[in-house]
Structure 1
Amino acid sequence: MKYGQDWQPPAVDWSSTRGRILLAAATLFAQRGYFGTSTRDIADAVQVRQPSLFHHFEAKHEIFRTLVELDLGPSIDRLRSRLEEDSTWAEKLHLTIACDVREALVQPFDARGLYQDAVLGLDEFTDERDGIGLFHELVEQVISSGREAGEFVIFEPSFVQRAVNGVLFETLREQGGPGGRLRERRPLQAADFV
């Protein structure tokens, strides 16, 4: 599996042409969606010609995949580390939510357009679907383990996972992307809420 132990997303120099392509694409995906954004739109936003864009990425789905990798990969890694910590299950869940919300709010690209079921259902995003499934399984493991330890009330772990996603996506929507006002307390407030 691509998002296995010790997997790391590619490093990005955000000031390079490749980095600027990723930033522009993320903004366009958030505004117009994946299907409403063309490689020509992305090239125009970066002020490069399409052949230059294709020098860095063979196709639009590779740009999208890279953005998902940059967002999802570190989240999986943080959660795996959290599972190994000597802390309560409630602390693990709280820190997971707070850290993921904070990272989503401070990363340089706009993740609001990345997790659309219609896009991720395409054949070229099998690894990304598997990675999202893995992340959900890990969060559900924290919830189930906390329930078994008597730290959480009996609740369906998949529902809690979806609620966590809802809180995360609401904080992203509220901020309005990377250029929006960062509410410093929002990560802890989101974790406290859940």
Structure 2
Amino acid sequence: MTHAGPGRPRLREPRRPGATARAEILDAAAELFTTRGFASTSTRLIADAVGIRQASLYNHFATKNDILVALLEDTVEPTIEFDAGLDDNHPAAVRLCALAWFDTAQLCAGRWNLGALYLLPEVRTEQFGRFRAEREQLAVRYRDLAAEIVGENDPRAGLPFRLVESAIAIRADDERVDAKLPEMLATASLDVLGVSETAAVKRRARALVIGVPDLSPGR
């Protein structure tokens, strides 16, 4: 995540959520990018929303694009880290369900629907190469897990990733997202692949998502 430097100590009361001035900047930018539009938002507008001088914003981010890079990378990196911690000894269906559950929860948890920014033309530029590579890494992971279930050449292997990212469109239609949406899309990811006994799979996946060992019989 790119920023210009460590910034200066905070000398004011915070106006927005965030433990640091940098976090406040990200929150303000997220709101403006998703409500006003990226092209229509200037660094001055972001600074005004935070209650700091524009020059102070540059202590944390050199450009508006750098802010967008940080926001987008934050939407995929926690899920990549979660997936890296999954034990390969779990069946593919359990790992896929846990991944979809966690990923959807990440897309729904933020105050602003940042996934809606994925298709901005700016994101196709070289500066966003790391984000695009990380998102593709996730897509490949979904396909690989699905292929373990239905076979390498089954066209359904690409569906779970798309189902999870449908959370972005759902949020765009209605910000009051159902709290059960992560579980629903994780279940749909299993159903579309024809997985049977989904209740048992979901129980084990949920334990992985919340960090509680699954001690159920038959593990």
Do the two structures share a fold, i.e. TM-score over 0.5?
yes
Aligned length: 174
Query: Residue deviations 1:59-92, cap 9 Å, x none?
Result: 111111111222211111122333x342222222
Alignment partner, residue 192 of structure 1: 187
Runs (5+) with no aligned partner, structure 1? 3-12
Alignment partner, residue 171 of structure 2: 172
1:174: how far off? Answer: 4.9
2:50 to 46, 51, 54: 46
Alignment partner, residue 25 of structure 1: 29
Runs (5+) with no aligned partner, structure 2? 2-16, 190-219
Q: Give TM-score scaled by structure 1 length.
A: 0.78
Q: Percent identity?
A: 25
Higher relative contact order (CA 8 A, sep 6+): 1
1:92 to 77, 90, 95: 95
Sort the Cα spacing of 1:29 and 1:101 in 2 relative to 1 into closer, same or farther, 3 A. Answer: same
1:69 counterpart = 2:68: no
1:81 counterpart = 2:76: no
1:160: how far off? Answer: 4.1
Specify the structure having the higher radius of gyration (Cα).
2
Q: In 1, are the aligned partners of 2:107 and 2:168 still within 8 Å (CA)?
A: no
Q: In 2, are the aligned partners of 1:33 and 1:113 still within 8 Å (CA)?
A: no
Helix, strand or coil at the partner of 2:114 = coil
Q: In 1, are the aligned partners of 2:28 and 2:50 still within 8 Å (CA)?
A: yes
CA RMSD for the aligned pairs? 2.5
1:121 to 121, 124, 149: 124
Helix, strand or coil at the partner of 1:56 = coil
Q: Give TM-score scaled by structure 2 length.
A: 0.70
